Structure 1
Amino acid sequence: MTNMTSTEILQIAIPILVIQLSLMVFCLYKLSKDTVKYLPKWFWALVIVFGQLLGPIVYLILGREKE
């Protein structure tokens, strides 16, 4: 097993963090515009923010009303 330097770790972590943050911002925007089902909007916002990567995906799959 090889030891990774901090630069190598950052090269992997930064794109993941950018994707996660972008998905979170997109979902919060969609939450403000769309109608939701199953939970109130404030709770969906908590799921999106504190759910890491899985929370926004769950919101996109389950939380939005079909148009």
Structure 2
Amino acid sequence: MSRADLDRQHRLRGRLATGNLRGQDLAQWEYEVTADGRVRHLVDEERRTVHLVYASTRHPGDTD
């Protein structure tokens, strides 16, 4: 959740800002691996755990 590299990593906004895992809403973040490649993860601060929910070499269409 570091804000050190905001060009590559950011919390998603709007309807994608949170994801639900086992009934718990968690913050959803995205890391830009390449120009199109993305990795999304849910952050469970309490357990100090991330849960990968999406990884692809293609840009996800739901943020356009």
Q: Return the TM-score normalized by structure 2.
A: 0.25
Give the structure with higher Rg (CA): 1
Answer 1 or 2: which has greater strand percent. 2
Which structure has greater helix proportion?
1
Task: Name the TM-score, length of structure 1 as normaliser.
Answer: 0.24
- Greater relative contact order (Cα 8 A, min sep 6): structure 1 or 2? 1
